[in-house]
Each structure stands twice: as structure tokens, then as C-alpha cells.
Structure 1
């Protein structure tokens, strides 16, 4: 196969293909890459690692997470929680029963020293195995590095901008890759690594292979973004006390959020907690829409004309009773129990497994044990289900090993895409110059392409603002220059 196309030959080939439009698109593709490539490499490396979160935590925290199964039954949850509190005095915030016969129990404790510690307890021997800071496992550290959460909202805003520009990279890259009657460099790589042509073709073919997944990951990563993600979450789940469309809320609600005590599914980040102790009122509808009472009809005992006796204050369920109730309701193994906060608080059981059909959140009245709200993935509206499905795939949880393998291959492809772009640019750029692609002869065409891009930028405000800044910098730097063809 011929590999002797020179740099000038490549340029001439482009000139034959709508040169002004090609140049305008190429120029914005270049700027997108200039901004995004370092972030894409970071996201690909950290994201590729986080796909194996269970394996990573299982390796680094094996001593905390796994136990030898004993012949005797596991101890009661209250005993295990008491062991955790004896070792680290404070308040029990959340309790996670063992997910299997060889897993430890976990108690999240707000200590008297002001820390939040995950305390791991042997369920058979009630012995504390050790602690981690809340969200301090190796996998969670990788996740927070992935989102730049450690570096504050400005850095997280940069990730949001990078995700938006990555979408632009894919769309403009498709236009630049389009064959237009050309056969070489479409699905094959020409030349040798010493030639720029090799790196151009490698970049194009790799982009063809991973571009669809890069687009998918960029879009499904946006719900977590610092500005757009928060706004769309409040819009999608801002009604019915923060629950997704489709979940009917017919019980008294508090001002406390589920997210205050755990990291819920994206669709429940705004979800408020119901209140306990309202069964004496007119009843309520459960999650299937049926009216019901707890079966304890309030009445006053009379003895002749004696004054009525005041009822005793209700007693709250123990942790043992709450765990037994969640087990009866069939929550998937690995669920966590959030403790009631205050006299009107509820027991909240939640689980977010890889199988979306088993995702579930149940709030129990802390006195009667009656489910006040019982939500599963099937209860969400179409938008909530679509977003949660996309997020599940993004996290590598939807199709098991295949999902993990798909994401790892994609992440490796993204790193190769970025590396080949950098080498291709280095070989093309003139000495001592940035090597910005030439402007179109028709400057109105450049503005038209920008206008089209800003339509998408209007959907993502931070991205749109960054496009305007880049257009201004481009105009200031090159408005008076006439670049050679």
C-alpha cells in the first residue's frame, strides 16, 4: 500500500473537500483537543480503575471486609453496633448487615471527636476488625479523584467543561473522519510510526472505534457535574419532595434528605425523608396507591365516669426489629440501614446493586415498622429510569464482566486517542508556533460553525461560556493574521 503521501499531499487532499468548512471544523476540533486531552487521559485512567472498585477494595481492605464463617449464627445487629460504639464512642448513623456469610458488618459512627468512621465488625464474634474514614476506601478515593472532588467546585467545573468539549470532539471528529471517496485511513492505518500520516490514521481509526462510547460516557457523566448536573437533578426530581416522576408521595415529609446520611442513586439526591408517628391521622397511601392504617386504632379506655387515661409515648423499634422488617420486605443483600434522626425520623433501608431491578429504598415508621415509602427502579418515571440505566452502564455495573471489559477497552482507546493526537500535532506544528489549523477564507463560515456549537453550549452553560472565551481568544490572537493555506 502506498505510504508516500506527504504533509502537502494531505493538505491538498483536504482542500479538495470543501476546504472552508473543513478548516472551520478542524480548527474547533483542534481547540477542543487542546482543552480536553489532559482531562480525558485523567478521566480514562481513573475511570478505568474505578470499574474494578469491588476487586480493588477486596484486595486492599480484605482484612476489614471478609471474615471466616462460623458454625454459630451471626450476632444480633444491636450487639454488633454496640461493639462498634464501645470501640469508638459516638452516635450510630448507619448500619450495613453482612451481605454474605463471609462478609463483615459495617457501622457508620459519628464519633464524639467529630469524625465519621466506618467501623467493621466480625458478625460471629462481635469483634471490631478496624475502621476507615467515611468514604475513605481505595475505590472511593479513586472515584473522588475521577471527579476532582478533592479540589473543590472550580476543578469540578473544569471537568464539566471537559465533558462538554469531549462531545464536541466526537461530533467534529466524525466530520473530519468521513471518507468522502477516500479509502486509506478510514478503517486502516497507513505509513510507519516515523510518519505523521501513521499517527493521523491511527487517531482517526481509534476515534472511530471508541468515539461512540466516548460520547456516551460524556453524556452520562454530565448528571454528576457541578452546575448542569445539580440543576437538571433539581428539575427532574424537584417535585413530590425530590422524588422522581412516577413515585407518589402521600405521607408527611420532613426537611431532611436521604443524601444527608448516605450516597444515594442520582435520582434520589433531592429526596426528602418522610416522618414517623402519623398513623393516628387519616391513613396514607402506600407506594402501590392503597389506603391503609397500621392496625392500631386509637381509643380511650373508660371506666365508668373516670377521666380518660393519656396514652403512653410510643416506643421506637430496635435496630434488630428494623433489620428484620427490611429482611421480610426482601431488600437485596448489601442494603444499608440509615438510623432515625429525631423523634419523627425513619429507618431508611437502601440498596443500589448492579441489577437495577433490585435497586430499592424503603422508609419505615420508627414506631410501627410500617413502610411509609417503598421505591424501586420500576417506580421511577421514564426519565429517571433512562438516567439511572445510563449511570449504571457508566459505572460498569449493568452487564457484569462484559460491562467492565467494554469500559476498560474504551478507556485504553481514549488514552491512545489522546496520545496519537499529541504526536500528530507535534509532527505537524511549525517550529516555535502552536500550529493552529488555518482559518477558512470565508470568516463568516467560522462564525456559523461557532453559532451551531453554541446551540449545544446553551444546553450546558459552562461549556457555552468556555466556547465564547475560546472564540474571543482566537479572534484576538489571529484576527489580523492571514494564515497560509
Structure 2
């Protein structure tokens, strides 16, 4: 019984400190996650002119003439991607400057310029950057965000244990304010625990530490991940292609024209008369029966190829498709013929799982129901945080932190096993756990030293 009580007290203590330190991050991530859930609705409304409007010019141009006009209108920028959406949407060009700055330029049905956007400050990109890196970026911040997500899982699991161990849901006669807050905190936390854990885990493939680990496993183990296209680099920044193939090496062009032009990047290749036009490529795409919406990523070198893809997790309004429809096809830039292709059925179980998991996390896997469920879970999570702090404030003594006490240093095997499993499943959490253990040991050592000093004085 004593060991069980020690487990409860230690979990309560760690639950308390974790909540205290990561709650500001959790609130930020949850609010930005809610914003990202509805980015398509927001952008369809606020960017209506760019997305669906027209230039007012009736002259019909080709896609290549539209691209040329966009390049002339935006000096020092070159087109790196063409986003071909369904008929109701305008065509979107991603234009990139040598320093990495990007613009989105929209062409109407006549391929005339409608307008442009600064890519960094679109609603979807702002929400995504806040959600993933607090709009600051950098490895340390990315790790901090991931760490908050990992400790949130610990909070949910430890909360379930404490709820049932302390009978927090038991009906009470004349409960006080603290008991009422605790009951609501425990009840809502228990209800949303599993959905929230699913939401968090399906977002981890994009994380800095665990995300790279997952992707490396999928890349190195084709049987559970995805088939590698064993062709030559370089590759371009393919943020709109499927998660399962975005780091694959693109195949080389096999055309004899490739060896005759020593040029790097599309900025040089656009002057190459031997290369097919985007209009011709789109005709080949139609012949290959790739339907809209899809993205075209330009070649990045003289031996590189066009990459055409349909993805379930693009982050682009109007571009997402069902996981079953995912496809990444490579076209020769000179002949226009498809060289190789990766489809959903080629993925291993791990790649398939996250191909479903990411749109589930983003809230568009099964339409409005997915969006609504994610929204409810996020709101409930904010309420859990609110009632948790109300519970703490109700028991907090003035000028004191009022942290849960530790009655003993004894730790059960069950407790160690629980924390070890979480540490192995979430490596960054495991590393932070070692730091927490060292801090706990240091606090205990200081208390013992203080006690011995008092004893000697007496």
C-alpha cells in the first residue's frame, strides 16, 4: 500500500510540475492547431479574389506565357512550383528568390495574373509555423515544441491513473470549490485522453527529433516504409508532395539532351529550347490520367526531372486528396514521358499509417466530421487546463508554490517500467526524463544535507 501511495504522490508531483512549465506552450499549440483546422475556410473567404477571381483581361494566354509574365512582374524571383487546382480555383505559382523568400502568384482561367501573396504571411503558413516552431524556428524551439507534446501525453496518462486511484469521479456530498474543479478536470481529461493522444501522435511525424527517427525508419526499411527510388540527387524542396516520398531521391533524366546543357536549376533551364513547356507537360499529365488537383515541381538541375504529385497532406487550400489517391510521378523534362512512379499501394505499413494519420491530425481526412471532432477535443483540452489550474489555485497557499509532497524515495518496478516505456516510445521525452530524475536526486540530496546540518547543530 505504501509503494502504491508513493507512486501516486510521485506521479502527482511530476504531473504538477510538467503542467506548470509546459502549459503556456500547450495553450499556444492548441490555439494554433484550432486555427490550422479551419485554414481552408479562412483562406477561401479572405483570399477569395486570388483564389477564385479574374484579372479582368479577356485575352487568352498559355500557362507558359502566364509564367513568363509572373517572372517579369516579380524580378529576382523564378517559378519553382505550379499548383494546378480544380476548375473553381485559380492556378497558383510558387516563386522563389535566391535567398529563399517566396511569393505565391495566382493566374486566372486565361492565365492572366490576378494577384500575389507573401508566402510567409498567409494564414495557413502562419498557423503552421506557430504550431510547429512558435514562428521562431530553429532546432531548439522545434525540440521544445516536440517536448511539450510528449509531456502532454504523460500528463494525460498520469491523469487517468490518478483519477481512478483517488476515486476523483466519485460522487461527493457538498463538495467544495476545489473538489468541483478537480472532478471536472478529471472527468473531461479522462474522456478526451485517448482522442488527444491520437491527435498528438499523428502530429509527431512532422516533429524535429521523433519525426526524423520515424522517417529514417520508413526510409531504411522499405518493407514497412516506402520504396526508395534509387536514382541520383539533387532534389528540390518538395513540401507539397506526400510525406512518404518527400525525401526520396528523384530519378535522372535519361534523355540525350540532358548531357548537352550544363545548367543548374530552373532559372538556367528555362532558356533551354530542348526542354518541354509546362503546357506540354500538362498534356502528358492528362495522358497519364493524373487528374486535378496536383502540383508540379520544377527540375533542380540539368539531369533532374519534373515531379508531379497528389498528396493527402499538402497544407495547400484545395490541393489535398484522399490517401488512396496519393501519387508521385517523375517526368523527363525533354521527352515529357513518365520515368517512374510511386503510388499509395507501394507504401509499407508505416508510410500508409502516417499517410492516414497526418490528415487525421490536420482535420480533413473525413471532411467536416473530422474537423469538428478535432475542434471539440482541442476545446476540451483547454478546459482541462483551465480546471487544472483552478484546482491548484484552490489549494495553493499564499506566497507558496504548494507542490505535491514526496513522502518517500521508494519507487516501484511498475512506475519505472511505465516511465521507461514512455521514454522508449518518445526518445526526446526519455532524455528529458533523465534530466528530471537528476533534478529530483539533487533536491533530495540538498534536503538531506540541510537535515544533517540541523541535526549537528542541535
Q: TM-score range by the shorter chain?
A: 0.7 to 0.9
State the match for 1:153 in structure 2.
139
CA contact (8 A) 1:354 1:397 kept: no
Q: Is the 8 A contact 1:57 1:138 kept in 2?
A: yes
- Residue 246 of structure 1: CA displacement? 4.7
Greater CA deviation, 46-55 or 59-68? 59-68
Deviations 1:398-457 (A, max 9, x none): 11000000010011011001111111111112332222212143x222786356413421
**430-439 or 108-117, which moves further after superposition?**
108-117
Q: What is the correspondence of 1:397-436 to structure 2 with a 5 Å cutoff? A: 397-436=364-403
Structure possessing the higher radius of gyration over alpha carbons: 1
Q: Helix, strand or coil for the counterpart of 1:95?
A: strand
Count of aligned residue pairs for this structure pair = 424
Q: Is the 8 A contact 2:79 2:94 kept in 1?
A: yes
Match of 1:351 in 2: 310
Query: Does 1:200 pair with 2:187?
Result: no
Distance (Å, rounded) in 2 between the aligned partners of 1:191 and 1:41: 32
Equivalence for 2:243: 266
Quick check: 1:453 aligned with 2:412? no
- SS of alignment partner, residue 234 of structure 2: strand
What pairs up with 1:12-411 in 2 under 5 angstroms?
18-67=4-53, 75-89=61-75, 90-97=77-84, 99-111=85-97, 115-124=101-110, 126-148=111-133, 150-151=135-136, 152-178=138-164, 182=167, 185=169, 195-238=177-220, 245-247=225-227, 249=229, 253-258=231-236, 260-277=237-254, 315-352=274-311, 353-411=320-378
Tell me how far 1:343 sits from its aligned partner.
2.3
Change (3 A) 1:160 1:41: same
Which residue of structure 2 aligns with residue 10 of structure 1?
Answer: none
Structure 2 residue matching 1:378: 3-state secondary structure: helix
> Aligned partners of 1:113 and 1:440: how far apart in 2?
58
Instruction: Normalising by structure 1, report the TM-score.
Output: 0.79
Shift of 1:69: 11
**SS, match of residue 341 in structure 2:** strand
Distance change (3 Å), C-alpha of 1:190 and 1:205 = farther
Task: Note the alpha carbon deviations across 1:4-28, whole angstroms, 9 max, x for none.
Answer: xxxxxxxxxxx99942232222222
Secondary structure of 1:253 counterpart: coil
| SS of equivalent residue, structure 1 residue 373 | strand
Aligned to 1:309: none
SS at 1:411 equivalent:
helix
**1: CA distance, partners of 2:165 / 2:427:** 33
Q: Kindly indicate whether the alpha-carbon contact (under 8 Å) linking 1:350 and 1:360 is maintained by their aligned counterparts in 2.
A: yes
User: 2:173, 2:3 → 1: CA distance?
Assistant: 20
Q: Report deviation, 1:161.
A: 0.9
Q: CA deviation at 1:143?
A: 0.7
The TM-score, its normalising length taken from structure 2, stands at 0.83
1:291 maps to none
Return the alpha-carbon distance in structure 2 between the equivalents of residues 327 and 272 of structure 1. Answer: 24
Instruction: Sort the Cα spacing of 1:244 and 1:129 in 2 relative to 1 into closer, same or farther, 3 A.
Output: farther
Match of 1:331, SS? coil
Indicate if the aligned counterparts of 2:107 and 2:114 stay in contact, CA closer than 8 A: yes
Q: Which runs of 5+ in 2 are unaligned?
A: 258-271, 312-319, 449-458
Which structure 1 residue ranges, 5 or more long, are not aligned? 1-14, 281-312
Q: Which deviates further from its counterpart, 86-95 or 221-230?
A: 86-95
